[in-house]
Chain A
Amino acid sequence: MRLQRAFTWYLRGLAAALGLSLLAGGIGLVQAKLLKQEFLTLMLFCVLALPPLFAFAAYVWRISPLRAARYFDRAFHLNERVSTALELQNENHAVEIIQKQLDDALSASRQIRPRRDLPLRFPKLDLALALFFTLLLGALWFRGETLFKAASQQRAVEEAIAAEQTQIEEIIKELNENQSLTDEQKEALAKPLEDALKELEDNPTMEGAVSTLVSTSEELKALGSQQALQTQQALTQTGSSLASQEGSPLEGVGKDLAKGNFAGAASELANMDLRQMTPEQLQKLAEQLEAMASSLAATNPQLAQQLMDAAQAIRNGDMAAAQQAMSSAASQMVQAGQQITAVQMANQAAGQLQQGAGQILAAGGGQTPSQGGAMAQGNQSGGQSNGGSGSGSGTGSASQSNQAGDEASTSPIPQNNGAGDGGESAYQQIYAPSLLGGAGGDTLGVPTSGEDGEVIGTSPTTAEDGQSLVPYTEVYSQYNQFNRQALENGEVPVQFMDVVRNYFGSLQP
């Protein structure tokens, strides 16, 4: 009886294990959380662990004698002899019929041959259930590739998001440790990154993560000051020029400037002892200061003025005033350096975030970094697309080779942004009558949602009064903002999200 029970419960355990695997696996796959290998492991674990456990428990489970007696009466067709005898064993055996019943039960029991009369029975229902679940599992295994792929992609996306979160934390740490930045600059740079971290925590989906990273990247780029980059360029050029003048008073300063060590250059400038210089050196110094001032006049007028004041003071023989002016210039240079560092870090972080967004998109089966010219910047050095001449932008070409069916992959607008090019100045001003500003025209915005033709929002424009031309980058950033909102709010159908994203990516300057 114990063997029969153990066998029956083994089959039940098998059916339960298969059912549990199916349920857990099904839920895991529908939620795209279970990989194929994990599904197999879960299935094997259940099938190997549960049936023996059930069988063992059934075997050792206590059986009451009366229950066993009733079972044997049924199994061996004893017509309730044994169970009645068991109940009568405490009765008065002197009563003839009771004694006869007991003897009859004993006699009938002795004629039983368990092996012959009680073969192992197969519980058909449990067996059928186990087979049914096995078939379903088999179907899921062989036909569920789509689900497994989705789970695999989801896992890859989660890992990519986690990696991106780690990277953002490292960027924030680097920012906080950077001595060149002021506290306000650190805070201004760290805030979008911390917000991005929180958004990634709250919305760890592919779309959400990509949207967060791209918008944060835009935000960081917006922190970048044109002027600072132009100042950096001017300072670097000036530095190179000064460094080439061997033996000149500002040679050291020039070398520091050329290397981008603005703090060092400022320190050297401030510590220059004019009383130790010869008149020729002073003369040379004044000339160099004037040259520096004139090259910086357009980008950093304050620094240029300080330098000019110092040069003037030197020519006038007022060393104290010259010293003072040079110290002021040095302070100004330090500030400029901090601003430049902040912009560099912002651009660097923006680039990393763009790259991260591309990697997440690639993990989710979207555009790969190599294909996405807009997404994968890859350029870590400062002064990217928005600088003047500068280091290679690393921006991919506008023509992209994307997945099949992606109509937006070819760039609709020639952008002239090959290597070495780039920047706002390379773009033509475009005709955007909807962004007319100033007097004489209404400012309209691009419809974001609502009924067809309805204008929801307005957007400012920097176009001059009466002019219909505005910078392309300004138009693009506004349109891209609307695009991001639409993607985040789910206004774009799922099957078109990649198309829309790719399209706007191809438009990016």
Chain B
Amino acid sequence: MTLSTEKFVEYANRVETEVGRVIVGQGEVVRHVLVSILAGGHVLLEGVPGLGKTMLIRTLGQALDLKFSRIQFTPDLMPADIVGTEILSDEDGKREFRFRHGPLFANLVLADEINRATPKTQSALLEAMQEASVTVAQQTYQLEQPFFVMATQNPLEMEGTYPLPEAQLDRFFFKINVNLPDVGEMVEILDRTTGKETPAANKAVTGADIVEMRALARTVPIASHVKEYIAKLMLATHPEDPNASPLVKKYVRYGVSPRGGQALVLGAKVTALMAGRYNVAFEDVHAVAKAALRHRLLLNFDGLAEGVKADEVIEELVRARMNDEG
């Protein structure tokens, strides 16, 4: 490994800067998406149409010099439409089946409105996310690294959709909520997108750099009491845990799995490095807690009926655990 920590910070800042030339605001969203890429995870973006989700991933593809593909999920989309299929080819008089790669064979894949596809098609994508490979006709094809999926969901128009099951949601590293821009950002968006020139991002890092950055992020040390804090935080999301907060006990059906803990640790490590630090701190954990946990917390009927947000539960938990640490 040759990448230095200074280089890491420099590359990360460069990427953010390049993305920032195209995407207005959404600083936290960009940061979390970048953290997820550098931690080796996939992201689920939830936001109303028109907030720049597709543009974000496309711009990231430009900044990271990675192959980009977009899949628009529809109810009639078949698994073969995304992973690829075997077609009969006739070359040099020889007829044979040849595997034609689907749009999944890219570095950055945008799976737009993933909840509109059937569970069968969803599972084909999710298998690729988990295994970084695709199996077609008993042949396994490895996906090129880095492989990163950004799936989107529209919180409106949920009729006729196929919500991702909890087990599948758990495979996403982060779930990021994309919110409406404020007035200033809106003005800037209008300026940039309705003017003569449309800005574009320049290449900031290569795929190989991303791989090295990922490896370096994993080496960031984490103190034992911080690890213990993360473990306790995770366990406290389960209503039967003695340290569970009142909100958890009242509104949570099932808490976070160990994947959530992994996401917290890796996300915190990347965040620490991006802050120019060489160890994980509590504030790094707090910075990624909501993104890492909100989609892994299953609310019960009471919580859903009363409109309780997973973020509220996570905030209360983080506060309670920090008080205990203090």
Contact = CB atoms under 8 A, between A and B. Distances in A.
A97 B5 contact: yes
B277 interface: yes
Nearest to B1: A96
B224 A87 contact: yes
Nearest to B275: A79
Interface residues of A, number: 19
B278 A80 contact: no
B278 A97 contact: yes
Nearest to B226: A80
B94 interface: no
B278 A104 contact: yes
B326 interface: yes
Contacts of B221: 84, 87-88, 91, 97-98, 101
A79 B281 CA distance: 5
A97 B220 contact: yes
A100 B5 contact: yes
A177 B222 CA distance: 92
Interface string B206-244: 000000000010011111111000000000000000000
A83 interface: yes
A191 interface: no
B292 interface: no
Contacts of A80: 223, 225-226, 279-282
B5 A79 contact: no
B268 to A, nearest CB: 11
B4 interface: yes
Nearest to B277: A79
Contacts of B224: 87
Interface in B1-56: 4-5
A91 B222 CA distance: 13
B283 A84 contact: no
A85 B279 CA distance: 9
Contact of A96 (B4, B222, B277): B4
Contacts of A88: 221
B283 A79 contact: yes
B223 A74 contact: no
A413 interface: no
Interface residues of B, number: 20
A326 B326 CA distance: 107
A82 to B, nearest CB: 9
B4 to A, nearest CB: 7
Contacts of B281: 79-81
Contacts of B226: 80, 84
A79 B222 CA distance: 11
A235 to B, nearest CB: 94
Interface string B252-292: 00000000000000000000000001111111000000000
Contact of A97 (B219, B223, B283): B219
B219 A81 contact: no
Contacts of B279: 79-81, 84-85, 101, 104-105
Contacts of A139: none
Contacts of B225: 70, 80, 83
A100 B283 contact: no
A353 B225 CA distance: 77
Contacts of A101: 221, 278-279
Interface in A64-102: 70, 74, 79-81, 83-85, 87-88, 91, 95-98, 100-101
Interface string A36-64: 00000000000000000000000000000
Contacts of B278: 97, 100-101, 104
Contact of A81 (B5, B277, B325): B277
* B224, B279, B280 interface centre (most CB from chain A within 10 Å): B279
Nearest to B283: A79
Nearest to A103: B278
A74 B277 contact: no
Contacts of B219: 95, 97
Given A74-B326, A79-B279, A84 B223 contact: yes
Interface in B162-219: 216, 219
A85 B224 CA distance: 11
* B220, B224, B225, B283 interface centre (most CB from chain A within 10 Å): B225
Nearest to B222: A84
A52 to B, nearest CB: 28
Contacts of B325: 74
Nearest to A97: B219
B12 to A, nearest CB: 15
Contacts of B277: 79, 81, 104
Interface in A350-380: none
A70 B281 CA distance: 11
Nearest to A85: B279
Nearest to A99: B278
A97 B216 contact: yes
A140 to B, nearest CB: 35
A88 B325 CA distance: 21
A497 B225 CA distance: 70
A80 B279 CA distance: 7
Contacts of A96: 4-5
A85 B281 CA distance: 12
A87 B5 CA distance: 20
* A70, A85, A91, A96 interface centre (most CB from chain B within 10 Å): A96
A3 to B, nearest CB: 19
B227 to A, nearest CB: 10
A83 B5 contact: no
B240 to A, nearest CB: 29
Contacts of A83: 223, 225
Interface string B305-326: 0000000000000000000011
Contacts of B216: 97
Interface of B: 4-5, 216, 219-226, 277-283, 325-326
Closest 10 pairs (CB-CB, A-B): A79-B281, A101-B278, A84-B279, A84-B223, A80-B281, A100-B278, A83-B223, A97-B219, A104-B278, A80-B223
14 contacts: A74-B325, A80-B225, A80-B281, A81-B281, A83-B223, A84-B222, A87-B221, A87-B223, A97-B5, A97-B221, A97-B278, A98-B221, A100-B278, A104-B277
Given A83-B225, A97-B219, 19 more contacts: A74-B326, A79-B277, A79-B279, A79-B281, A79-B283, A80-B281, A81-B277, A81-B281, A83-B223, A84-B223, A84-B226, A84-B279, A85-B279, A88-B221, A97-B278, A98-B221, A100-B278, A101-B221, A104-B277
